[in-house]
Structures are given as structure tokens and as C-alpha cells.
Amino acid sequence: MSKDNELEIIQEYLDSVSGNVLLFSNDSTVPNLLSNHNVQLLSNVDQPISDYVDTLLSTNTLGENISKENKKFDTIIIRDLFEQVKNPELFVQHLNSVLNDSGTIICSISNFSHINNTVNLLIGNIDNTFFNTSRFYDLNNFLLFLNENNMHTTKLSRIKQEFSSESMNLDDSFIPSQLIDMYQKIPDHDVAQYVFMIGKGKSVSSESLDFLSQFPKNYLLPKLQEFFEKFTEFKYSLAKKDKVIQGHEESIKEQEEYTELALAKKDKVIQGHEESIKEQEDYLQNLKKHNDQLESQLKKFKFWRR
């Protein structure tokens, strides 16, 4: 089942039932959407609703803030609080205590394995805080959590978000199209959010559910991993090739610089020799001139001696 909006799913469910409704929310638009129902609101304008619930749980005052005179609810709407509160086990115990035996808890969790998350993770667009946003990193993990706390899913809806490589400005050199095509064959790759209708009691034993969760339903993942390893190895080979080319380029540059320096030294030596030769030529010319002057004086001296 695919829906465009979580609130549409909630509204559709409430239109089919009656009774008391408990809503955890700081979003002012949500109570207005549910105005036709008998809704009791738990909210706090001074802090996020998850922090407020954590405070009530730590002070053991959640029960008295939820229900007075042992009031029970037919529907409890918490949306994504199971992902956000620090102690979801204690939280679900309180909810179970104020829920009618045939009542329903409506909640949602995000799908960690949505293709956008995986691609962003591969290209480094996700910081470390992303991994701390939820303890329920896959569907089986959340179903086991419910079962261990004496709850089970009565209905599951999927809110989808289609993948678009153009909107993410993907480069084939980082994420090849073949890898995207393979990932899109994985079930629920396009599911951004799960919306659960939860009832009291276990559907199967926790041991059976835990055992079944050990067997992957998707046999494409090993092939996907093999492809990604080969792609990573290919990128490593390219990087190694580029490093070798860079080394050759640096060596050529060093040789060019050495040759240029050697030529400069050669020119300097030649210039030095040329200057030395010119000095010697000037010296010889001066010496010849001096000799000529001496010979002329000597001739004059011989003439006068006669």
C-alpha cells in the first residue's frame, strides 16, 4: 500500500473508528485535522515533544499526565516518537497500560535503507549524527521490538519517495548507473517511511520472529555487495594509475628543471670564458702597443748616438 501523506493514513483510519483518541504532538496543525474526534492532546510548547516525553518518563510522571481516573483510549497517535525517545521500551509499556484491549497505536518509523539514504551515505553527504537518529534501522528490527513488548502490527502502510539521480546531481564516476539499477530491485528501496497500526499481544513468539529475521528475504544484496567491491577495486586501480602518471610527470618536471639549470650554468661558464678571452686579447693588444712604443724609442736613441 502506498500513501502520499502520513496524516492521510491517520485520518482515514480515524474515520473508520470511534472512541477516545490520545495524540502526542507539538504540531498545531494536527489537532485541527482531527477536530471531529474526541482527542486528548499531550504537548509542550517549550521543548520538542520527544524531550518532553523523556522528561516525564525520567520523573515517572507520564502516566499522570496521560490519564486520570484510569481513562483508557481506543486510539493513540505518537507518529515517530518510538525513534526519538531515549527509552522506547518504557514508553511502550505506558502506552500499553492506557490502551483498550482492542485499541490501536498509530506510529511511524523512517526507512534507513531508502535508496536516497544509501546513495548519500556512499558519496559522504550524511554526517555521523544520522546514525543516531533511530535504533530501528530496518523493518524486522522494529517488528521484533514490538513483539518483545507484547505488541504486534495489525496493518502496515508504506509512504514512498521515488529516486531521482538528477535531483541529487549524481556523477557516474562516484555512483555508476548499474549500481543504482541493482539497488532499485531491492524491496522497499523507495519506501521513505513506514506507518504502523499496532495492537496488544504477540502475533508469534519472539524466538520464532528472531529466528526468521536471520534469513535475508533479498538475495540481490550479495550481488550488490560484489558489484560495489569490484567498483571500489576499479576506482582504486584508477587512483593507482593516476598516482603513477603523476610520478612520471613529476620526474619529467624534475628533469626539465635540472636541464634548464644545467643550461643556465653552461651559459654562465661560456660567458665567463668569453670574458676571460676578451681580457687576454685586450692585454695582448696593450702589450703589443707597448712594444711598438719601446721599439720606436730605441730607434730614436740609436739615431742620436751616431
Residue 177 above 70 pLDDT? yes
How distant, in Å, are the alpha carbons of 30, 258, 276, 301 from that of 264? 81, 10, 18, 55
What whole-number distance in Å separates Cα of residue 204 and Cα of residue 147? 8
The model carries a pTM of 0.66
Residue 302, pLDDT above cutoff 50: yes
Record the cell numbers describing residue 238, joined without a space. 584508477
Digit-coded pLDDT (tens) for 227-260:
556 656 655 666 666 665 666 667 667 766 766 7
pLDDT, one tens digit per residue, over 146-172 is 999 999 999 999 999 888 766 666 666
| pLDDT higher than threshold 60 for residue 70 | yes
Which CATH topology does 2-218 take?
Rossmann fold (3.40.50)
Q: Which residues contact 26 (CB under 8 A, 6 or more apart)?
A: 43, 44, 45, 48, 49
> Which letter does DSSP use for residue 94 in this model?
H
pLDDT of residue 258: 65
pLDDT tens digits for 38-67?
888 999 989 999 999 999 999 999 988 887
- Nearest-Å Rg of the Cα atoms of the chain is 42
Mean pLDDT score, 22-40: 82
Q: Side chain identity at 149, as an amino acid letter?
A: N
Could you tell me the residue ranges of all domains in the chain? Answer: 2-218
